[in-house]
Every structure is written in structure tokens, then in C-alpha cells.
């Protein structure tokens, strides 16, 4: 039976995992080893020349981390995946083989605040640039692309505002421009949406969130669809031209659909060093085993709680894409037929001061800078995760001063609503 023919619930347990050949261990072991013994000198040389696949040094490859990459790739429907140290690291890993000094990436205005900062300031240190565009304005997206554009970047369900990207429309624009579409699928997870099915070339994840699901791991992943022709437009020499560090090896010519994944390991992890540790990978593998079950409860709770909040006297609006009032409900139903996730913002009638009182009054909700935990979480983005942005950027990202972000967990919905109700009353 091919693993590709298995259902999601089966893949999330079995993909990438085989009984340990040395011990017969059923669960993927934690290979807590820096280095791995070579059979002989020829074996070592073949590994370093990329003539043979195997393990050298855990900055590059590790069996536990590799098993996690295989599992995520299969859940996303990709040809391969590379895991790294965080979601932010994954975004840089996705761009690294594509960009050069003077090149740019077109990005959505609706992004996590840290990503906005990364694209606004940090990537300029590499000589890269970013153009921010409202992705609902398809003509503006097209106009933003020029001869130096090397990628388009967006989130499936944007953090924090719950905006849903029209992936098929953006993918069509990317294809016409012969550049890859990179989609951050953290808030949707592969259970709710597979961006590759809608035209994405690369998919990134913060494994810190729903895939691990318990607030114990910092990690990231980049999944390659394996469908993009890197040589067609002559824009991606790192993947198509001879690589000096490997005696002129050409990644696409040598590895075909796995070219991006091999480059990300052999060059990206080798030189950037954004390594995921084996114990963190192990925790994430165990977390993924219950992903579908958790996401069903996350979504059910979010649907019930968002509808209740929408009718609350202290609330002016709720941004959950699963609500009839959301302008993105139809888009969410198409891209995420199993539900619109469990992350959204609530706008309070009392404005900024009410938001602060509300956050301080909650008891079951944890006030933390995270999302996707089994526990329900809350934060005021304008004063925290999006604090570094301009007022205009905050509003565009869905983080206005009167907005509180809720990450709905898997507790009893009635208990969560009782906590929200008492905090809303205290805040107003």
C-alpha cells in the first residue's frame, strides 16, 4: 500500500515513520546525536558530494528531523520538506535559494506583525526588498511584479485578522510571472487546507503552533510542491546553474522535483545553520498524530464562540471567516471546507482601554505571544505582536487598537464563553 493512497488520519500517524531497524522501536526515536559514523572513506565522500543520501551531521540531516519532514510533506501533498528552527527561519529558508541582492518579493499586507518587520527591515540586510500589496486587489498584485521579482508571499488564513487569501487567483498571477507562490499555512494546517492543491509552489509552517499543538516546541518547515520548473525563466541560478561548493553540480538537473529540498539542506542549513533539534522534532511528530482530532475541536469551539461573541453587547465586530457576516466566508468554505480555523480578532466598543482591561480580566485564556495551543490564548496585537508597525500597517494587518486576538483552544466551549463574558463585563 502506497503512503500517498492513505487517508489524512492515517498519514498523520504513519507517514515518515518506520520501525527502527536497529531496535524495532515503533515510535520514531530521538536521535540525539551530533554526528553519524561513516561506513568507510568512500561512503563519507559520496555523502559530501551528494552522490548518496544519508546522515553526516545534525546541522544538515538527522533521522528524527527527517521523519518529521517526510510526514509534513505527505500531509501537504509535497515532494519534500525541510525542517528548521522556527517559522521565521522557514520564511528565510524559503526565500534563500530564490533571491539575490537587488531582487524583491511581493507580499500581502495581511501578515503576522513579525513577518511584516522581517520583510520590511530584516531582508534588506541581504540586499533584498519587499513590496506590500492588498491581495484582494489583483491588479495591484500584478502591477507590483517586475523583472526583479522572485516570489510572491501570503498566508492562507492571515494572523491575526482571519483574512482568507484567494490562493487560486494569486497562484495564477505567480504562474504568469513565472515566479513561485509561497504560502504560510500555519493557521490553517494541512488538515484544513492544502495550498499546493490551489497552486502554491512552497508552503511554510511555524511548527510551534497547531502542528505541535502544546506550546513546547519552536520549529519551522518548508514544503516544496516539486512542480515548479526552476529553469523555465532563467531566474533561479542557485537551483539551475553549477554550484561551486559541489564541483559544479546543478540541483534541478540532478535532483528534479526534489531540487529545492536538497538545496535547502545542502546549502541552506549548511550555511545558515537554522537547525531544528531532534527532541523538538519528536514532540512535533507526536503532536501531529492527533492533529485532525484537535483541529475538529478547535474549529467547533471557534464557530460556537465567534457566533456568541458577535451578539455580545460589548463587541462591535468579529473577524472569523466562518461567520455569515464575514466577507471571506465563501472563500473559506472553498479553501478550507472543514472549517475556517480557530484564530480571529474581536473588536471591542470601548476601544484600546477596554481591550487592555479585557485581556487582564481573563482567567482561562492565557495572555501569551503564541497561537495554536490546545489552551485558549489571548493577546492585544496593537500593543504587542504588531506594536512595531505603523498605525496604517496595523489596520491593514487586522491589528487595529480596538482589536483583541483570540486563539480558541480545545477546552469546553461553555467554560470559555463564561470566561469571556465576565472579562467583557469587567472591561466595559
Bridge partners for 222 per DSSP: 82, 204
Cα separation, 342 vs 114, in Å, equals 20
> What are the backbone angles phi and psi of residue 315, rounded to the nearest 5°?
-105, 130
pLDDT at 335 over 70: yes
| pLDDT tens digits for range 12-66 | 999 998 888 888 889 999 999 999 999 999 999 999 999 999 999 999 999 999 9
Cα separation, 238 vs 241, in Å, equals 6
Nearest residue to 177 (alpha-carbon basis) of 135, 145, 130, 154? 145
Is there a contact between 87 and 20 (Cβ–Cβ < 8 Å)?
no
Q: What is the pLDDT of residue 397?
A: 66
Q: What is the pLDDT of residue 381?
A: 84
Nearest residue to 158 (alpha-carbon basis) of 187, 196, 199, 195? 187
Is there a contact between 367 and 378 (Cβ–Cβ < 8 Å)?
yes
Cβ contacts of residue 273 below 8 Å, gap of 6+? 59
- CA separation, residue 211 to residues 151, 186, 275, 353 (Å): 25, 8, 18, 34
Q: What is the 3-state secondary structure (H, E, C) of the chain?
A: CCHHHCCHHHHHHHCCCCCCCCCCCCCCCCCCCCECCCCCHHHHHHHHCCCCCCCCECCCCCHHHHHHHHHHHHHHCCCEEEEECCHHHHHHHHHCCCCCCCCEEEEECCCCHHHHHHHHCHHHHHCCEEEEECCCCHHHHHHHCCCCEEEEEEECECCCCCCECCHHHHHHHHHHHCCCEEEECCCCHHHHCCHHHHCCCEEEEECCCCCCCCCCCCCEEEEECCCCCCCCCCCCHHHHCCEHHHCCECHHHHHHHHHHHHHHHHHHHHHHCCCCCHHHHHHHHHHHCCHHHHHHHHHHHHHHHHHHHHCCCCEEEECCCCCCCCCCHHHHHHHCCCCCCCEEEEEECCHHHHHHHHHHHCCCCEECCCCCCCCCEEECHHHCCCCCCCHHHHHHHCCCCCEEEEECCCCCHHHHHHHHHHHHHHHC
How many C-beta atoms surround the C-beta of residue 143 within 10 A?
12
Return the C-alpha cell found at 289: 498524530
Q: Please, what is the end-to-end C-alpha distance for the chain in angstroms? A: 59
* pLDDT confidence tier of residue 290, bands split at 50, 70 and 90: very high
- Ordered by where they begin, the domains of the chain are 10-287 (3.40.640.10), 291-427 (3.90.1150.10)
How many CA atoms within 13 Å lie on the side-chain side of 277? 8
pTM assigned to the model: 0.95
Cα separation, 331 vs 167, in Å, equals 9
Is there a contact between 164 and 155 (Cβ–Cβ < 8 Å)?
no
pLDDT at 1 over 60: no
Q: What is the pLDDT of residue 207?
A: 98
Cα separation, 147 vs 106, in Å, equals 12
The average confidence (pLDDT) of the chain is 95
* pLDDT confidence tier of residue 3, bands split at 50, 70 and 90: low
Is there a contact between 205 and 187 (Cβ–Cβ < 8 Å)?
no
Q: What is the 3-state secondary structure (H, E, C) of 89-120?
A: HHHHHHHCCCCCCCCEEEEECCCCHHHHHHHH
Classify 162 in phi/psi space as left (phi over 0), alpha (psi -120 to 50) or beta: left
pLDDT at 176 over 90: yes
> What are the backbone angles phi and psi of residue 78, rounded to the nearest 5°?
-100, 170
Compare 352 and 287 and report the one with higher pLDDT: 287
pLDDT at 129 over 90: yes
| pLDDT tens digits for range 73-110 | 999 999 999 999 999 999 999 999 999 999 999 999 99
Amino acid at each position: 500500500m502506497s503512503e500517498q493512497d492513505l487517508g489524512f488520519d492515517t498519514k498523520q500517524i504513519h507517514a515518515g515513520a518506520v520501525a527502527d531497524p536497529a531496535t524495532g522501536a515503533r515510535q520514531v526515536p530521538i536521535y540525539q546525536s551530533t554526528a553519524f559514523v561513516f561506513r568507510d572513506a568512500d561512503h563519507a565522500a559520496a555523502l559530501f558530494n551528494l552522490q548518496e543520501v544519508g546522515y553526516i551531521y545534525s546541522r544538515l540531516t538527522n533521522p528524527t528531523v527527517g521523519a518529521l519532514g517526510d510526514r509534513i510533506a505527505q500531509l501537504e501533498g509535497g515532494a519534500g520538506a525541510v525542517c528548521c528552527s522556527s517559522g521565521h527561519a522557514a520564511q528565510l529558508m524559503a526565500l534563500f535559494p530564490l533571491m539575490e541582492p537587488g531582487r524583491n518579493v511581493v507580499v500581502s499586507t495581511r501578515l503576522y506583525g513579525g513577518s511584516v518587520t522581517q520583510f520590511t527591515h530584516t531582508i534588506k540586510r541581504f540586499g533584498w526588498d519587499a513590496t506590500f500589496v492588498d491581495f484582494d486587489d489583483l491588479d495591484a498584485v500584478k502591477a507590483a511584479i517586475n523583472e526583479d521579482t522572485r516570489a510572491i508571499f501570503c498566508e492562507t488564513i492571515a494572523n491575526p485578522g482571519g483574512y482568507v487569501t484567494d490562493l487560486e487567483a494569486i497562484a495564477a498571477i505567480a504562474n504568469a510571472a513565472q515566479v513561485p507562490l509561497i504560502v504560510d499555512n500555519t493557521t490553517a494546517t494541512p488538515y484544513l487546507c492544502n495550498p499546493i492543491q490551489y497552486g502554491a509552489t512552497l508552503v511554510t509552517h511555524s511548527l510551534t503552533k497547531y502542528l505541535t499543538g502544546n506550546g513546547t516546541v519552536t520549529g519551522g518547515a518548508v514544503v516544496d510542491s516539486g512542480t515548479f520548473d526552476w529553469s523555465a525563466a532563467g531566474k533561479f541560478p542557485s537551483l539551475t546553474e553549477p554550484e561551486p561548493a559541489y564541483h559544479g553540480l546543478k540541483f534541478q538537473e540532478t535532483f528534479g522535483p526534489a531540487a529545492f529540498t536538497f538545496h535547502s539542506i545542502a546549502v541552506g542549513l549548511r550555511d545558515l545553520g537554522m537547525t531544528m533539534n531532534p527532541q523538538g522534532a519528536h514532540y512535533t511528530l507526536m503532536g501531529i498524530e492527533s492533529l485532525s482530532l484537535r483541529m475538529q475541536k478547535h474549529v467547533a469551539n471557534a464557530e460556537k464562540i465567534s457566533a456568541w461573541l458577535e451578539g455580545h453587547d460589548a463587541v462591535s465586530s468579529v473577524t472569523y471567516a466562518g461567520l455569515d457576516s464575514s466577507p471571506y466566508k465563501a472563500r473559506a468554505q472553498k479553501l478550507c471546507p472543514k472549517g475556517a480555523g480557530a484564530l480571529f480578532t474581536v473588536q471591542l466598543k470601548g476601544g484600546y482601554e477596554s481591550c487592555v482591561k479585557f485581556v487582564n480580566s481573563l482567567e482561562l485564556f492565557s495572555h501569551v505571544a503564541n497561537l495554536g495551543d490546545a489552551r485558549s490564548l489571548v493577546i492585544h496585537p496593537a500593543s504587542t505582536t504588531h506594536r512595531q508597525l505603523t498605525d496604517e500597517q496595523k489596520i491593514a494587518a487586522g491589528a487595529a487598537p480596538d482589536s483583541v486576538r483570540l486563539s480558541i483552544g480545545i477546552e469546553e466551549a461553555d467554560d470559555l464563553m463564561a470566561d469571556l463574558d465576565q472579562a467583557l463585563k469587567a472591561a466595559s
